[in-house]
Amino acid sequence: MTTPPAWGLPRGVRSLTRTFPFNRADLAENACFGLDCDGTGPVGRIGADDPNIHGDVIAAMIVEPATLDDPESGFLEKLRALCDRFGILLIFDETITLLRYPEFSAAQHYGVQPDLLVGGKGLANGRPLSAVIGRAGVMRCFEADWAPPKDSKWRGPVYCSGTFAACADSLAAAGAVLDEWETWAVARTISDTGRRLRAALNTRSAEALRVRVRGLDYRLTIDAGDNWALRTLLLQKLCEHGVLTNGNLLPCAAHTMADIGTTVSAWSEATATAVYLLEEHGEIPLSVIDGRVCGPLYRQGA
């Protein structure tokens, strides 16, 4: 929430975080030296040539291990090495990626272990649940009677609570999900579905519209660039033909070949309509759109 635009957050809170682009471990390293992530700005209390830096500036580095694309070779490994060097906790946000890999987590899939890993409601098939998983030395900080070693700069314990901390039905759902996940190839099934779907949707009509379905097998999205009228039309036409989406297409283990067929058929109808309108008018007429044209998720005003 402290990343741009961060409207409404106090300046002091925003100043506690720095951001760097995905796949740019070199810019993450700048922050470790007290620099801004573009390599400019003051070094502060530490010097860039000081070999004895122990994480006085950065406490934790948080990253989604995979976005719509795989991380570049060596990116996650470089982050792990940086955190080890500077005494920083490496935290993976796996709210989306957990259970989507045959190895269980993206951390295990890519072979890079974080200090903490955060999972979300996918663990309970959509029921309200989250999980923090970590190595023992870090997880002990959550124990009320935990005390850091005398020679440690750590402070503790760390308070942790939540509204759904005792939500038994969510825990029961998670148990059922994990049983199913271990019984048969759920993650592989999801990937196979996503791979087939992406290949079927990236048709000549989509190419003519300069639209493509991109992303990893379990996390697809419709990319229409900045043509929001076209995007809105496609989403509305998909809805009219039985496929409700906000632009993301997230396969699950319950989807069948028939579901893929329904989606492909709806996509063919939607793209055909868009191609016709562009050929007739040179753009998507706002008169054919029901309601407002969608826009960027984060924006000021109504």
Domains in the chain: boundaries: 11-181, 186-288
User: Rounded to the nearest 10 degrees, what angle do helices 25-32 and 75-86 cross at?
Assistant: 10
Distance between CA atoms of residues 230 and 197, nearest Å: 21
Look up the pTM and report it.
Answer: 0.86
Count the Cβ atoms, other than its own, within 10 Å of residue 78: 18
In 51-114, at which residue ranges do the beta strands (DSSP E only) sit? Answer: 60-63, 89-93
The one-letter code for the residue type at 244 is L
- 3-class SS of residue 274: helix
Count the Cβ atoms, other than its own, within 10 Å of residue 166: 8
Distance between CA atoms of residues 301 and 12, nearest Å: 24
Phi-psi region of 247 (alpha: psi -120 to 50; beta: other; left: phi over 0): left
CATH number corresponding to 11-181: 3.40.640.10
Query: What order of strands is seen across the sheet that includes strand 248-249?
Result: 212-216, 219-223, 248-249
pLDDT at 49: 47
Instruction: Please say whether the beta carbons of 194 and 251 come within 8 A.
Output: yes
Q: Which CATH superfamily is domain 186-288 in?
A: Aspartate Aminotransferase, domain 1 (3.90.1150.10)
pLDDT at 36: 73
pLDDT at 53: 43
User: Which tokens belong to 18?
Assistant: 């720095």
Distance between CA atoms of residues 82 and 75, nearest Å: 11
pLDDT at 300: 52
Helix (H) or strand (E) holding 172: helix 168-183
User: Which tokens belong to 252?
Assistant: 């699950």
pLDDT tens for each residue of the chain, 302 residues long: 666 677 888 887 777 788 888 999 999 988 887 777 776 665 554 444 444 444 457 889 999 999 999 999 999 999 999 999 988 999 999 999 999 999 999 999 999 999 999 999 899 999 989 999 999 988 988 888 888 878 777 777 888 877 777 789 999 999 999 999 999 999 999 999 999 999 999 988 889 999 999 999 999 999 999 999 999 999 999 999 999 999 999 999 999 999 999 999 999 999 999 999 999 999 999 999 999 999 887 655 44
